[in-house]
Amino acid sequence: MIYSGEVINVEQVKRSFGTVDVLRGVDLTVQSGEMIALYGPSGSGKTTLLNLIGMLDRPTGGDILLQGLNILKMREGKRTKLRRKRIGFIFQNYTLMPTYTAAENIDLALRLPGMGFFERRRRSKTALEAVGLSAWADHLPDQLSGGQRQRVAIARALALHPPLILADEPTSGLDTRTAKRVMSLFHGIAKQQGTAFIIVSHDPVVTEFVDSAYDLIDGQVHLRKDKQG
């Protein structure tokens, strides 16, 4: 499957928690094959925005389209189905199942949307190879280092071949060489499969690879003219 067209349209999205207006009218469009970096100070609402796009939360106002479908007009059951099929998460708190091996963790993420056994096995093997963890496939998360666990989470997102991958600090805990390898892998996948990436990160390695960068300031998202900024 090679994706094309607009993957995400965020239109005037607002999110408040009590009296705190975290997002105050966010507009953002991401095309297939596009990799964007999202910057912003701690507490500016980056994770809040990823949670809304990832259908883990609902905004107070505005619209969000995923491949042209309005995900806010859907019931939770439909959203869950769509999320499992179409969104890869690389989140710090989207943890691995502790009693499942690296390979089983990836397998589970592919089983949820109903993928068949042989396809799952093939994809999980390929994804673990891509992140350099073939030899660790049968290890449990607590037998892996923090960086290796992070790479399992990356492999799990990639194995799904979703149109959209949301990543919150995906290179944290990785050394520079591994971070470059991971970003170069993302770049290849974006360009070959049309996967869109939204990456929250302050890592200069990430900046090097993205197509464009946005700042989340005072509840709104602005395109950076110079992504190095």
Asked if 44 touches ligand ADP (CB under 6 A), the answer is yes
43 binds, among Mg ion, ligand ADP, none (CB under 5 to 8 A by kind): ligand ADP
Backbone angles phi, psi at 96, to 5 degrees: -80, 150
Is residue 129 within 8 A of residue 160, CB to CB? The reply is: no
Task: Output 38 or 157, the one with its CB closest to Mg ion.
Answer: 38
Is residue 131 within 8 A of residue 154, CB to CB? The reply is: yes
Asked if 188 touches ligand ADP (CB under 6 A), the answer is no
Minimum gap (Å) between residue 105 Cβ and Mg ion? 23
User: Which of 224, 223, 194 has the alpha carbon at shortest distance from 67?
Assistant: 194
Residues touching ligand ADP, count (CB under 6 A):
10
Amino acid at 66: L
Is residue 167 within 8 A of residue 201, CB to CB? The reply is: yes
Asked if 83 touches ligand ADP (CB under 6 A), the answer is no
Structure tokens at 212: 């464009």
Asked if 162 touches ligand ADP (CB under 6 A), the answer is no
The residue behind tokens 């095309």 is 31
Asked if 220 touches ligand ADP (CB under 6 A), the answer is no
With CB under 6 A as the contact rule, the residue among 43, 116, 146, 188 that binds ligand ADP is 43
Asked if 219 touches ligand ADP (CB under 6 A), the answer is no
Burial 212-228 (b: 16+ CB within 10 A, else e): ebbbbeebbbeeeeebe
42 binds, among Mg ion, ligand ADP, none (CB under 5 to 8 A by kind): ligand ADP
Candidates 4-12, 37-45, 114-122, 152-160; binding stretch for ligand ADP (CB under 6 A): 37-45
With CB under 6 A as the contact rule, the residue among 1, 19, 42, 135 that binds ligand ADP is 42
With CB under 5 A as the contact rule, the residue among 23, 32, 33, 47 that binds Mg ion is 47
Beta strands in the chain (DSSP E): 6-17, 20-31, 35-39, 61-66, 69-70, 87-90, 164-168, 196-200, 212-217, 220-223
Computed over its alpha carbons, how large is the radius of gyration of the chain? 17
Residues that bind ligand ADP (CB under 6 A): 17, 22, 40, 42-48
Residues that bind Mg ion (CB under 5 A): 46-47
